[in-house]
Amino acid sequence: MSSEQAPAATLSKYTKRVALKTILGGSSDGGVGLTGHRVVIGGWIKSSSEIRKQPVTPQPAAAPQVVSPKDVTCSAVLQSRIPLLKSIMKVLVDSALATPCQVMPTGTCLLIEGILQQPSVQGKHVEVASAMRIHNALTWATHGFFQDQGFLHVQVPIITSTDSEGFSEKFLVTTLLSKGKKDDQISSTEDAGDLKKTNELVSQLETRQKAKSGVAVETRKLDLSKDLFAHQTYLTVSGRLHLESQACALGNVYCFGHRFQAEKSESKKSLAETWMVDVEMAFSELEDAMDCANDFLKFVCKRMVEGCMEDLQFVLKQIDKAVMERLQSTISSSFERISYAEAIEVLRQVAGKRFHSKIEFGVSLTEEHQSYLVDEIYKKPVIIYNDPKGLEPFYVRVNDDGKTVATFNVVLPKLKPNLFAGRTVIRGSQSEERFNVLNSRMNELGLQKQQHEWYLDLRRHGSAKTSGFSLMLEPLVLYATGLNDVKDVIPFPRSFRRANS
């Protein structure tokens, strides 16, 4: 924004603009003094609507400069979070330069020069950036918490040959298929015909082999020894194992990054690419990890309430009336801690309520079960610990009962009525530090030892107890914004097409 005879304006660092915020923050009248001044305003149409035919009463100072046969409200372009400005600013587009229909499409970039005048009608403001600012604040608060507590931020690899969970589908990473093999290489009809013939042949052979052996045989199998890493590599599902190795060298560590799951799901919350905070602490047991997760969640919620008030006010008005209450209660309530076995017992004793799925030891608690515990019984965040062994990955510590393992899940209260998505924001565990127990657990699960040798090495000459957890960032952003869909808080969500489209 530039101005003539207007209050002093300072260019934002590194850009050719004056942020509205700096002008308004520096003036006691919230920008009212700018009325009548000539300004240039730049930005994008984020949403727009024609103003209903109400007569415009031009201000004497502004009238000669602005011709406006058909008004378009451009308040949405201002990117401003200052409510007063929104109510006093109304920029009129001169239709001799651009007709309203030209500036209507979302994404249109505008530079508008004109005289500021007080609006006769008030446009509705849509603030698309609040969710992203809350996202940023959560990230920054996360770093703040762990740095304050003396944790070191470290890196874990994205490309890995280690299958840390053993449950989920993974993305294969390869260079064998992308080197100079462009789609346009098979150009002639003849070549295409030959390729078709080859593929048919391969397909016939596959069918024959399947009939013989009873299993699907992949004849198109790639020779992975020729791949860049000379063996099969995946996108990482979790950073915990790599992090544990670093905890053994550095003490308490955390990392922040992308994690991947190649599951196809009809559920709209399923994403291939998510953000996680992984945490690992040396000389630490399950209870320590639960304490840390508890403090961490309270800390970031507190930071939200302290530092994102404007955005939370917007959320409160436009999206979710319960947002402040939810954050405040997370800060002030003491999280309930119950074991999985206790949870099963508590749910079994609920009278007059029929759950969709059976409550039985050894079976995962569903979101319905969790919701009942959190929203109906305890009415605050609940940490459910010591899950059945069969539900958890190989590296979690087996408890003395032989049936459960040292894990925990932090389940948050409901976002909105009937919304179950993303309740579990943290999953944690204590690692199995006993070499022999870990070894026999891997045998039990039939895991390939070769890819886990480096992890077993951590215990070969004894080891400290370690524990940690993973925070799923997107569900936490939903919790702080009241939005329903994780895709609303990720600018480029990597979700899957539905199976048949």
Which residues from 279-338 bind a copy of itself, rule CB under 8 A?
A: 281-285, 288-289, 291-292
- State the Cα–Cα distance between residues 386 and 408, nearest whole angstrom: 6
Which of positions 14-43 make contact with a copy of itself (CB under 8 A)?
A: 14-17, 19, 42
- The interface with a copy of itself within residues 230-249 (CB under 8 A) comprises 230, 232, 234-235, 242, 245-246, 248-249
The three-point CA angle 56-57-61 to 5° equals 125
225-230 long-range contacts (CB < 8 A, ≥24 apart) are 226/176, 227/174, 227/175, 227/176, 228/174, 228/175, 229/159, 229/161
Q: Is 364 in the site for a copy of itself (CB under 8 A)?
A: no
| Dist CA 463 CA 459 (whole Å) | 5
247-266 residues near a copy of itself, rule: CB under 8 A: 248-252, 256-258, 260, 262, 264
Closest CA to 430 of 449, 408, 411: 408
In the window 368-427, what residues touch a copy of itself (CB under 8 A)? Answer: none
Among 198, 328, 440, 443, binds a copy of itself (CB under 8 A): 198
Stretch that binds a copy of itself, among 57-65, 70-78, 87-95, 270-278 (CB under 8 A): 270-278
**Interface with a copy of itself (CB under 8 A), residue from 13, 53, 353, 354:** 13
Closest CA to 240 of 126, 450, 135, 397: 397
Between 194 and 376, whose beta carbon lies closer to a copy of itself? 194
For 348-364, the DSSP string reads: HT-TT---SS---TTSP
Which of 40, 101, 201, 456 lies at the binding interface for a copy of itself (CB under 8 A)?
201
Closer to a copy of itself at the Cβ: 347 or 383?
383
Q: Which of 143, 403, 434, 487: binder of a copy of itself (CB under 8 A)?
A: 143
**Interface pattern 61-90 for a copy of itself (x via CB under 8 A):** ------------------x-----------
Q: CB–CB of 73/90 below 8 Å?
A: yes
Q: Is 197 in the site for a copy of itself (CB under 8 A)?
A: yes
- Quote the tokens at residue 452: 């886990």
Residue 490: half-sphere exposure toward Cβ, Cα within 13 Å: 21
Residue number with CB closer to a copy of itself (117 or 466)? 466
State whether residue 290 is helix, strand or coil: helix
Applying CB under 8 A, the site for a copy of itself has a residue count of 125
Q: Among candidates 374, 387, 367, which has minimal Cα distance to 427? A: 387
Pairing of strands 253-260, 152-153: parallel
Of the two residues 34 and 282, which places its CB atom closer to a copy of itself in the complex?
Answer: 282
* 8-state DSSP, 60: T
Q: Which of 221, 353, 356, 358 binds a copy of itself (CB under 8 A)?
A: 221
User: Of 49 and 357, which CB lies nearer to a copy of itself in the complex structure?
Assistant: 49
CB atoms within 10 A of CB 463: 18
Minimum CB separation from a copy of itself for residue 49, in Å? 17
Tell me how far apart the alpha carbons of residues 137 and 303 are, in angstroms, rounded to a whole number.
8
Specify the stretch interacting with a copy of itself by CB under 8 A; choose among 214-222, 325-333, 360-368, 479-487: 214-222
Residue 190 binds to a copy of itself (criterion: CB under 8 A): yes
Cβ 408 to a copy of itself shortest distance, Å: 14
Task: Of 432, 338, 339, give the one whose Cα is nearest residue 387.
Answer: 339
Q: Residues 145 to 174: which contact a copy of itself by CB under 8 A?
A: 147, 149-150, 152-160, 169-174
Minimum distance between the CB of residue 482 and a copy of itself, rounded to whole angstroms?
20
128 lies in the site for a copy of itself, by CB under 8 A = yes
Rounded to whole angstroms, the Cα distance separating 419 from 45 reads 32
Site for a copy of itself in 433-462 (CB under 8 A): 457-458, 460-462
Residue 275 engages a copy of itself in binding (rule: CB under 8 A): yes
Q: Does 191 bind a copy of itself (CB under 8 A)?
A: yes
Asked if residue 185 binds a copy of itself (CB under 8 A), the reply is yes
CA distance linking residue 248 with residue 459, whole number of Å: 10
In contact, 410 and 366? CB cutoff 8 Å: no
| Range in contact with a copy of itself (rule: CB under 8 A) among 67-75, 83-91, 195-203, 362-370 | 195-203
Give the N- to C-terminal CA distance of the chain in Å, as an integer. 47
394 contacts 166 by C-beta, under 8 angstroms: yes
